[in-house]
Protein backbone atom coordinates (compact mmCIF):
# COMPACT_ATOMS: atom_id res chain seq x y z
CA UNK A 1 0.00 0.00 0.00
CA UNK A 2 1.39 3.44 -0.84
CA UNK A 3 1.09 6.57 1.25
CA UNK A 4 -1.84 9.01 1.17
CA UNK A 5 -1.50 12.34 -0.57
CA UNK A 6 0.44 14.87 1.50
CA UNK A 7 -1.71 16.91 3.91
CA UNK A 8 -4.20 14.66 5.65
CA UNK A 9 -7.21 16.99 5.46
CA UNK A 10 -6.87 17.62 1.75
CA UNK A 11 -9.18 15.47 -0.39
CA UNK A 12 -7.66 13.53 -3.24
CA UNK A 13 -8.07 15.17 -6.62
CA UNK A 14 -8.65 11.98 -8.62
CA UNK A 15 -9.46 8.53 -7.26
CA UNK A 16 -9.59 5.76 -9.85
CA UNK A 17 -11.40 2.52 -9.03
CA UNK A 18 -10.27 -0.38 -11.20
CA UNK A 19 -7.02 -1.56 -12.71
CA UNK A 20 -7.57 -2.70 -16.28
CA UNK A 21 -6.60 -0.72 -19.39
CA UNK A 22 -9.22 1.96 -18.60
CA UNK A 23 -7.99 2.52 -15.04
CA UNK A 24 -4.30 2.67 -15.91
CA UNK A 25 -4.83 4.87 -18.97
CA UNK A 26 -6.82 7.28 -16.81
CA UNK A 27 -4.01 7.16 -14.24
CA UNK A 28 -1.30 7.85 -16.84
CA UNK A 29 -3.14 10.92 -18.08
CA UNK A 30 -4.11 12.18 -14.61
CA UNK A 31 -0.58 11.66 -13.29
CA UNK A 32 0.96 13.44 -16.26
CA UNK A 33 -1.37 16.35 -15.44
CA UNK A 34 0.13 16.40 -11.90
CA UNK A 35 -3.14 15.29 -10.30
CA UNK A 36 -1.38 12.53 -8.28
CA UNK A 37 -4.15 9.97 -8.89
CA UNK A 38 -4.84 7.27 -6.34
CA UNK A 39 -5.84 3.91 -7.85
CA UNK A 40 -7.75 1.27 -5.92
CA UNK A 41 -6.68 -1.76 -7.91
CA UNK A 42 -8.93 -4.33 -6.20
CA UNK A 43 -8.16 -7.73 -4.70
CA UNK A 44 -8.43 -11.30 -5.98
CA UNK A 45 -11.83 -12.95 -6.48
CA UNK A 46 -12.53 -16.19 -8.39
CA UNK A 47 -13.84 -14.41 -11.52
CA UNK A 48 -12.46 -10.93 -11.01
CA UNK A 49 -8.82 -10.02 -10.45
CA UNK A 50 -6.73 -6.85 -10.35
CA UNK A 51 -5.69 -5.93 -13.92
CA UNK A 52 -9.11 -6.95 -15.25
CA UNK A 53 -10.11 -9.24 -18.08
CA UNK A 54 -6.75 -8.88 -19.80
CA UNK A 55 -5.22 -10.83 -16.95
CA UNK A 56 -7.28 -13.83 -18.15
CA UNK A 57 -5.97 -13.55 -21.73
CA UNK A 58 -2.86 -15.03 -23.27
CA UNK A 59 -1.31 -13.41 -26.35
CA UNK A 60 -2.71 -10.01 -27.34
CA UNK A 61 -2.25 -9.52 -31.05
CA UNK A 62 -4.60 -6.60 -31.71
CA UNK A 63 -3.35 -3.88 -29.36
CA UNK A 64 -1.74 -1.22 -31.54
CA UNK A 65 1.98 -0.90 -30.99
CA UNK A 66 2.44 -4.52 -29.93
CA UNK A 67 2.75 -6.50 -33.16
CA UNK A 68 2.99 -10.25 -32.90
CA UNK A 69 5.34 -12.34 -34.94
CA UNK A 70 8.86 -11.66 -36.02
CA UNK A 71 9.24 -8.46 -34.00
CA UNK A 72 12.74 -7.71 -35.19
CA UNK A 73 11.89 -7.74 -38.91
CA UNK A 74 8.63 -5.89 -38.21
CA UNK A 75 10.36 -3.01 -36.47
CA UNK A 76 13.16 -3.01 -38.99
CA UNK A 77 10.63 -2.71 -41.81
CA UNK A 78 8.50 -0.12 -39.96
CA UNK A 79 11.24 2.23 -38.83
CA UNK A 80 13.45 4.26 -41.11
CA UNK A 81 16.97 2.82 -41.32
CA UNK A 82 18.51 6.05 -40.01
CA UNK A 83 16.30 5.92 -36.92
CA UNK A 84 16.85 2.29 -35.96
CA UNK A 85 19.42 3.24 -33.33
CA UNK A 86 16.49 4.44 -31.12
CA UNK A 87 14.94 0.96 -30.96
CA UNK A 88 15.37 -1.17 -27.88
CA UNK A 89 16.46 -4.74 -28.54
CA UNK A 90 13.32 -6.88 -28.97
CA UNK A 91 12.20 -9.04 -26.04
CA UNK A 92 13.42 -12.61 -26.01
CA UNK A 93 11.80 -14.35 -28.95
CA UNK A 94 10.09 -17.70 -29.10
CA UNK A 95 10.10 -19.75 -32.24
CA UNK A 96 6.86 -20.73 -33.89
CA UNK A 97 6.74 -22.68 -37.16
CA UNK A 98 10.48 -22.10 -37.43
CA UNK A 99 10.05 -18.33 -37.34
CA UNK A 100 10.74 -16.04 -34.41
CA UNK A 101 7.50 -15.24 -32.60
CA UNK A 102 6.68 -12.96 -29.76
CA UNK A 103 3.31 -11.51 -28.77
CA UNK A 104 2.69 -9.46 -25.68
CA UNK A 105 0.71 -11.39 -23.07
CA UNK A 106 -2.46 -9.87 -21.60
CA UNK A 107 -1.08 -9.65 -18.08
CA UNK A 108 2.22 -8.29 -19.34
CA UNK A 109 0.47 -5.56 -21.35
CA UNK A 110 -1.60 -4.35 -18.44
CA UNK A 111 1.38 -4.55 -16.04
CA UNK A 112 3.29 -2.31 -18.44
CA UNK A 113 0.39 0.16 -18.28
CA UNK A 114 0.46 0.00 -14.47
CA UNK A 115 4.20 0.66 -14.38
CA UNK A 116 3.78 3.54 -16.80
CA UNK A 117 1.18 5.08 -14.47
CA UNK A 118 3.39 4.56 -11.41
CA UNK A 119 6.36 6.13 -13.19
CA UNK A 120 4.40 9.39 -13.40
CA UNK A 121 3.47 9.39 -9.71
CA UNK A 122 0.30 7.29 -9.51
CA UNK A 123 -0.26 5.77 -6.05
CA UNK A 124 -1.84 2.33 -5.80
CA UNK A 125 -3.82 0.68 -3.03
CA UNK A 126 -4.58 -3.03 -3.32
CA UNK A 127 -8.11 -2.89 -1.93
CA UNK A 128 -11.67 -3.20 -3.23
CA UNK A 129 -14.01 -0.25 -2.89
CA UNK A 130 -17.15 -1.62 -1.30
CA UNK A 131 -19.24 1.54 -0.97
CA UNK A 132 -19.28 5.18 -2.08
CA UNK A 133 -20.93 8.46 -1.14
CA UNK A 134 -21.39 10.47 -4.30
CA UNK A 135 -24.33 12.51 -2.97
CA UNK A 136 -22.15 14.91 -0.97
CA UNK A 137 -18.94 16.83 -1.63
CA UNK A 138 -16.17 15.94 -1.32
CA UNK A 139 -17.00 12.55 -2.75
CA UNK A 140 -16.17 9.58 -0.58
CA UNK A 141 -15.02 6.06 -1.48
CA UNK A 142 -14.98 3.36 1.16
CA UNK A 143 -12.43 0.54 0.91
CA UNK A 144 -13.14 -2.97 2.22
CA UNK A 145 -10.25 -2.61 4.58
CA UNK A 146 -9.16 0.89 5.53
CA UNK A 147 -10.45 4.39 6.14
CA UNK A 148 -12.84 6.17 3.76
CA UNK A 149 -11.03 8.37 1.25
CA UNK A 150 -12.34 11.80 0.27
CA UNK A 151 -11.88 12.96 -3.29
CA UNK A 152 -12.90 15.77 -5.61
CA UNK A 153 -13.38 13.46 -8.59
CA UNK A 154 -13.70 9.71 -9.11
CA UNK A 155 -13.22 7.56 -12.20
CA UNK A 156 -15.02 4.23 -12.19
CA UNK A 157 -13.12 1.68 -14.28
CA UNK A 158 -14.14 -1.61 -12.68
CA UNK A 159 -14.91 -3.38 -15.95
CA UNK A 160 -17.25 -6.26 -16.64
CA UNK A 161 -16.63 -9.95 -16.26
CA UNK A 162 -17.53 -12.49 -18.90
CA UNK A 163 -20.16 -14.97 -17.84
CA UNK A 164 -19.06 -18.59 -18.01
CA UNK A 165 -21.11 -21.78 -17.88
CA UNK A 166 -19.72 -22.73 -14.47
CA UNK A 167 -18.35 -26.18 -15.33
CA UNK A 168 -15.20 -27.53 -13.65
CA UNK A 169 -13.92 -28.76 -17.01
CA UNK A 170 -14.46 -25.29 -18.48
CA UNK A 171 -12.33 -23.79 -15.71
CA UNK A 172 -9.64 -26.41 -16.29
CA UNK A 173 -9.28 -25.57 -19.99
CA UNK A 174 -9.38 -21.77 -19.76
CA UNK A 175 -6.52 -20.49 -21.96
CA UNK A 176 -6.12 -24.05 -23.29
CA UNK A 177 -8.98 -23.84 -25.75
CA UNK A 178 -11.71 -22.19 -23.67
CA UNK A 179 -12.12 -18.46 -24.17
CA UNK A 180 -14.78 -15.81 -23.73
CA UNK A 181 -13.55 -13.59 -26.54
CA UNK A 182 -13.25 -14.78 -30.13
CA UNK A 183 -12.12 -11.39 -31.37
CA UNK A 184 -9.26 -11.45 -28.84
CA UNK A 185 -8.23 -15.08 -29.13
CA UNK A 186 -9.81 -16.64 -32.24
CA UNK A 187 -6.88 -15.97 -34.56
CA UNK A 188 -4.33 -17.58 -32.23
CA UNK A 189 -2.40 -20.50 -33.75
CA UNK A 190 -3.95 -22.74 -31.09
CA UNK A 191 -7.30 -22.59 -32.94
CA UNK A 192 -6.06 -22.42 -36.52
CA UNK A 193 -7.92 -24.69 -38.95
CA UNK A 194 -9.80 -26.54 -36.20
CA UNK A 195 -13.55 -26.97 -35.83
CA UNK A 196 -14.64 -24.63 -33.02
CA UNK A 197 -17.74 -24.06 -30.93
CA UNK A 198 -19.40 -20.83 -29.88
CA UNK A 199 -21.93 -21.11 -27.05
CA UNK A 200 -24.82 -18.65 -26.85
CA UNK A 201 -27.61 -17.27 -28.99
CA UNK A 202 -27.31 -13.51 -28.66
CA UNK A 203 -25.63 -10.91 -30.85
CA UNK A 204 -22.24 -11.64 -29.28
CA UNK A 205 -22.48 -15.34 -30.07
CA UNK A 206 -23.48 -14.86 -33.71
CA UNK A 207 -20.91 -12.11 -34.14
CA UNK A 208 -18.16 -14.28 -32.66
CA UNK A 209 -19.22 -17.28 -34.77
CA UNK A 210 -19.18 -15.11 -37.91
CA UNK A 211 -15.79 -13.69 -36.98
CA UNK A 212 -14.33 -17.17 -36.53
CA UNK A 213 -15.99 -18.47 -39.69
CA UNK A 214 -14.38 -15.66 -41.73
CA UNK A 215 -10.86 -16.35 -40.52
CA UNK A 216 -8.41 -17.74 -43.04
CA UNK A 217 -8.34 -21.56 -42.79
CA UNK A 218 -11.62 -21.63 -40.80
CA UNK A 219 -13.15 -25.08 -40.38
CA UNK A 220 -16.72 -25.68 -39.16
CA UNK A 221 -17.91 -23.29 -36.45
CA UNK A 222 -20.68 -24.84 -34.35
CA UNK A 223 -23.10 -22.37 -32.81
CA UNK A 224 -24.48 -24.11 -29.75
CA UNK A 225 -27.70 -22.70 -28.36
CA UNK A 226 -29.99 -23.96 -25.64
CA UNK A 227 -33.15 -23.18 -27.62
CA UNK A 228 -34.16 -23.61 -31.27
CA UNK A 229 -34.30 -19.88 -31.93
CA UNK A 230 -31.57 -17.26 -31.61
CA UNK A 231 -31.97 -14.14 -29.50
CA UNK A 232 -29.67 -12.15 -31.81
CA UNK A 233 -31.01 -9.42 -34.12
CA UNK A 234 -32.53 -10.87 -37.30
CA UNK A 235 -29.95 -9.43 -39.65
CA UNK A 236 -27.01 -10.73 -37.64
CA UNK A 237 -28.49 -14.16 -37.15
CA UNK A 238 -29.26 -14.46 -40.85
CA UNK A 239 -25.68 -13.57 -41.70
CA UNK A 240 -24.48 -16.32 -39.38
CA UNK A 241 -27.03 -18.93 -40.42
CA UNK A 242 -26.35 -18.31 -44.13
CA UNK A 243 -22.60 -18.68 -43.63
CA UNK A 244 -21.30 -21.91 -45.20
CA UNK A 245 -18.87 -22.50 -42.30
CA UNK A 246 -21.41 -22.05 -39.48
CA UNK A 247 -23.49 -24.97 -38.30
CA UNK A 248 -26.12 -24.32 -35.62
CA UNK A 249 -26.57 -26.93 -32.91
CA UNK A 250 -30.03 -26.33 -31.48
CA UNK A 251 -31.50 -27.27 -28.11
CA UNK A 252 -28.14 -28.15 -26.63
CA UNK A 253 -26.01 -27.17 -23.68
CA UNK A 254 -22.40 -28.04 -22.92
CA UNK A 255 -22.25 -30.69 -20.21
CA UNK A 256 -18.49 -31.13 -20.21
CA UNK A 257 -15.43 -29.76 -21.95
CA UNK A 258 -13.27 -32.64 -23.14
CA UNK A 259 -9.52 -32.56 -23.62
CA UNK A 260 -6.20 -34.33 -23.40
CA UNK A 261 -5.17 -32.38 -20.28
CA UNK A 262 -3.21 -29.90 -22.43
CA UNK A 263 -5.86 -28.71 -24.91
CA UNK A 264 -9.57 -28.95 -25.63
CA UNK A 265 -10.47 -31.66 -28.15
CA UNK A 266 -14.23 -31.88 -27.81
CA UNK A 267 -17.46 -31.08 -26.00
CA UNK A 268 -20.05 -33.34 -24.43
CA UNK A 269 -23.39 -31.84 -25.34
CA UNK A 270 -26.67 -32.47 -23.58
CA UNK A 271 -30.00 -32.02 -25.26
CA UNK A 272 -32.40 -29.59 -23.59
CA UNK A 273 -35.29 -31.54 -25.09
CA UNK A 274 -34.68 -35.13 -24.03
CA UNK A 275 -31.54 -35.22 -21.86
CA UNK A 276 -29.61 -37.29 -24.44
CA UNK A 277 -25.87 -36.58 -24.80
CA UNK A 278 -23.39 -36.65 -27.65
CA UNK A 279 -19.74 -35.75 -28.16
CA UNK A 280 -18.67 -33.09 -30.65
CA UNK A 281 -15.08 -32.87 -31.85
CA UNK A 282 -13.79 -29.28 -31.55
CA UNK A 283 -10.46 -27.64 -30.82
CA UNK A 284 -11.92 -24.76 -28.85
CA UNK A 285 -14.99 -23.35 -27.11
CA UNK A 286 -15.90 -19.68 -27.10
CA UNK A 287 -18.44 -18.79 -24.43
CA UNK A 288 -20.63 -15.85 -25.44
CA UNK A 289 -23.45 -15.86 -22.93
CA UNK A 290 -23.18 -12.25 -21.81
CA UNK A 291 -21.17 -10.17 -19.36
CA UNK A 292 -21.79 -8.84 -15.87
CA UNK A 293 -20.56 -5.32 -15.13
CA UNK A 294 -18.78 -4.86 -11.80
CA UNK A 295 -21.16 -2.25 -10.42
CA UNK A 296 -22.80 -3.92 -7.44
CA UNK A 297 -21.09 -1.54 -5.02
CA UNK A 298 -22.65 1.39 -6.92
CA UNK A 299 -26.27 0.21 -6.66
CA UNK A 300 -28.51 3.24 -6.17
CA UNK A 301 -25.52 5.63 -6.34
CA UNK A 302 -25.18 6.06 -10.11
CA UNK A 303 -27.57 5.65 -13.04
CA UNK A 304 -27.24 2.28 -14.75
CA UNK A 305 -29.01 0.56 -17.62
CA UNK A 306 -31.20 -2.49 -17.03
CA UNK A 307 -28.12 -4.75 -17.21
CA UNK A 308 -26.20 -2.79 -14.57
CA UNK A 309 -23.82 -0.94 -16.92
CA UNK A 310 -23.12 2.68 -15.92
CA UNK A 311 -24.76 5.30 -18.08
CA UNK A 312 -22.68 8.01 -19.69
CA UNK A 313 -24.93 11.04 -19.34
CA UNK A 314 -23.38 13.33 -21.99
CA UNK A 315 -22.67 12.41 -25.60
CA UNK A 316 -18.96 11.81 -26.27
CA UNK A 317 -18.11 12.50 -22.61
CA UNK A 318 -17.52 10.12 -19.73
CA UNK A 319 -19.73 11.92 -17.19
CA UNK A 320 -22.01 9.79 -15.05
CA UNK A 321 -25.15 10.87 -13.19
CA UNK A 322 -23.07 12.18 -10.25
CA UNK A 323 -21.12 15.41 -10.58
CA UNK A 324 -17.37 14.82 -10.68
CA UNK A 325 -17.75 11.08 -11.23
CA UNK A 326 -16.66 9.66 -14.59
CA UNK A 327 -16.81 6.15 -16.01
CA UNK A 328 -14.34 4.45 -18.35
CA UNK A 329 -14.02 1.10 -20.04
CA UNK A 330 -16.30 -1.92 -20.04
CA UNK A 331 -18.18 -0.85 -16.92
CA UNK A 332 -20.00 1.63 -19.17
CA UNK A 333 -19.65 -0.19 -22.49
CA UNK A 334 -21.45 -3.42 -23.31
CA UNK A 335 -20.83 -2.96 -27.01
CA UNK A 336 -17.12 -2.68 -27.96
CA UNK A 337 -15.40 -4.22 -24.91
CA UNK A 338 -11.85 -4.11 -26.28
CA UNK A 339 -8.65 -3.23 -24.44
CA UNK A 340 -8.02 -0.39 -26.87
CA UNK A 341 -11.51 1.13 -26.47
CA UNK A 342 -11.18 0.87 -22.68
CA UNK A 343 -7.83 2.60 -22.79
CA UNK A 344 -9.37 5.30 -24.99
CA UNK A 345 -12.24 6.04 -22.63
CA UNK A 346 -9.80 5.92 -19.69
CA UNK A 347 -7.89 8.75 -21.31
CA UNK A 348 -11.16 10.62 -21.91
CA UNK A 349 -12.23 10.21 -18.26
CA UNK A 350 -8.93 11.64 -17.00
CA UNK A 351 -9.25 14.64 -19.33
CA UNK A 352 -12.88 15.12 -18.23
CA UNK A 353 -11.82 14.97 -14.55
CA UNK A 354 -8.98 17.43 -15.18
CA UNK A 355 -11.35 19.89 -16.88
CA UNK A 356 -13.91 19.48 -14.11
CA UNK A 357 -11.25 20.32 -11.51
CA UNK A 358 -10.09 23.31 -13.51
CA UNK A 359 -13.67 24.64 -13.67
CA UNK A 360 -14.05 24.25 -9.90
CA UNK A 361 -10.90 26.16 -8.98
P1 LIG B 1 -27.34 -11.56 -24.50
O2 LIG B 1 -28.08 -10.80 -25.52
O3 LIG B 1 -27.76 -11.45 -23.08
O4 LIG B 1 -27.38 -13.10 -24.95
C5 LIG B 1 -26.88 -14.10 -24.14
C6 LIG B 1 -27.14 -15.45 -24.82
O7 LIG B 1 -26.54 -16.45 -24.04
C8 LIG B 1 -28.63 -15.76 -24.95
O9 LIG B 1 -28.88 -16.34 -26.20
C10 LIG B 1 -28.85 -16.77 -23.81
O11 LIG B 1 -29.82 -17.76 -24.13
C12 LIG B 1 -27.52 -17.44 -23.72
N13 LIG B 1 -27.24 -17.91 -22.37
C14 LIG B 1 -27.25 -17.19 -21.22
N15 LIG B 1 -26.90 -17.95 -20.17
C16 LIG B 1 -26.65 -19.20 -20.70
C17 LIG B 1 -26.23 -20.43 -20.12
N18 LIG B 1 -25.97 -20.53 -18.81
N19 LIG B 1 -26.08 -21.50 -20.94
C20 LIG B 1 -26.30 -21.39 -22.26
N21 LIG B 1 -26.69 -20.26 -22.87
C22 LIG B 1 -26.86 -19.17 -22.08
O23 LIG B 1 -25.76 -11.19 -24.47
P24 LIG B 1 -24.82 -10.72 -25.68
O25 LIG B 1 -25.02 -11.55 -26.88
O26 LIG B 1 -23.45 -10.64 -25.07
O27 LIG B 1 -25.30 -9.25 -26.01
C28 LIG B 1 -25.27 -8.22 -24.98
C29 LIG B 1 -25.75 -6.90 -25.59
O30 LIG B 1 -24.77 -6.40 -26.51
C31 LIG B 1 -27.05 -7.07 -26.36
O32 LIG B 1 -27.81 -5.91 -26.16
C33 LIG B 1 -26.58 -7.13 -27.80
O34 LIG B 1 -27.57 -6.69 -28.71
C35 LIG B 1 -25.36 -6.22 -27.78
N36 LIG B 1 -24.42 -6.62 -28.83
C37 LIG B 1 -24.57 -6.05 -30.05
C38 LIG B 1 -23.71 -6.41 -31.07
C39 LIG B 1 -23.85 -5.76 -32.41
O40 LIG B 1 -24.86 -5.15 -32.65
N41 LIG B 1 -22.88 -5.87 -33.27
C42 LIG B 1 -22.72 -7.37 -30.86
C43 LIG B 1 -22.62 -7.95 -29.60
C44 LIG B 1 -23.48 -7.57 -28.60
P45 LIG B 1 -31.39 -17.40 -24.24
O46 LIG B 1 -31.52 -16.69 -25.54
O47 LIG B 1 -32.03 -18.73 -24.18
O48 LIG B 1 -31.68 -16.54 -23.06
Residue 76: band (very low, low, confident or very high) from pLDDT cuts 50, 70, 90: confident
Distance of CA 203 to CAs 180, 213, 223, 334, 342, Å?
14, 15, 12, 11, 20
More confident position, 53 or 311: 311
Mean pLDDT of all residues in the chain? 90
pLDDT digits (tens, 9 = 90+) for 140-166: 999 998 899 999 999 999 999 989 999
In a domain, 3, yes or no: no
Which pLDDT belongs to residue 94?
56
Does 181 participate in catalysis according to the annotation? yes
Domain end: 232, 266, 287, which one? 287
Q: Which of 180, 183, 203 to mutate to test the pocket of ligand 1 (most atoms within 8 A of CB)?
A: 203
The answer on pLDDT for 56 being more than 90 is no
**Do 296 and 280 reside in the same domain of the chain?**
no
Domain end: 232, 259, 287, which one? 287
In a domain, 322, yes or no: yes
**Do 147 and 204 reside in the same domain of the chain?**
no
Does 347 participate in catalysis according to the annotation? no
pLDDT digits (tens, 9 = 90+) for 253-297: 999 999 999 999 999 999 999 989 999 999 999 999 999 999 999
pLDDT digits (tens, 9 = 90+) for 234-256: 998 999 999 999 999 999 999 99
Q: Residue 314 is part of which domain span?
A: 12-162+291-360
Which pLDDT belongs to residue 1?
39
pTM of the model: 0.79
Domain end: 230, 253, 287, which one? 287
Q: What is the CATH number of the domain that holds 236?
A: 3.50.50.60
Catalytic residue of the set 80, 147, 185, 303: 185
Which pLDDT belongs to residue 2?
43
Which pLDDT belongs to residue 3?
46
Of 82-91, 178-187, 276-285, 332-341, the range with the lowest mean pLDDT is 82-91
**Do 34 and 122 reside in the same domain of the chain?**
yes
In a domain, 4, yes or no: no
More confident position, 70 or 92: 70
Catalytic residue of the set 9, 131, 133, 184: 184
> Percent of the chain scored above 90 by pLDDT?
71
Amino acid sequence: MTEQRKGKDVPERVVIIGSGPAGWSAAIYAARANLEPLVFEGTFHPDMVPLGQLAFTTEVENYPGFPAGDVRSFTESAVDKNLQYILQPPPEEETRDGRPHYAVMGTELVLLMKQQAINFGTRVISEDIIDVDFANRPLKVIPGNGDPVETQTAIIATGARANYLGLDSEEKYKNKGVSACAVCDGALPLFKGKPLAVVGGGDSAVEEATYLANLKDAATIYLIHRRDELRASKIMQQRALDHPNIEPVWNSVVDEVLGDEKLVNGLRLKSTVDDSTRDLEVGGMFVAIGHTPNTKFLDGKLDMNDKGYLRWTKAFRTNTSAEGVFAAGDVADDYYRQAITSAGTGCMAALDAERFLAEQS
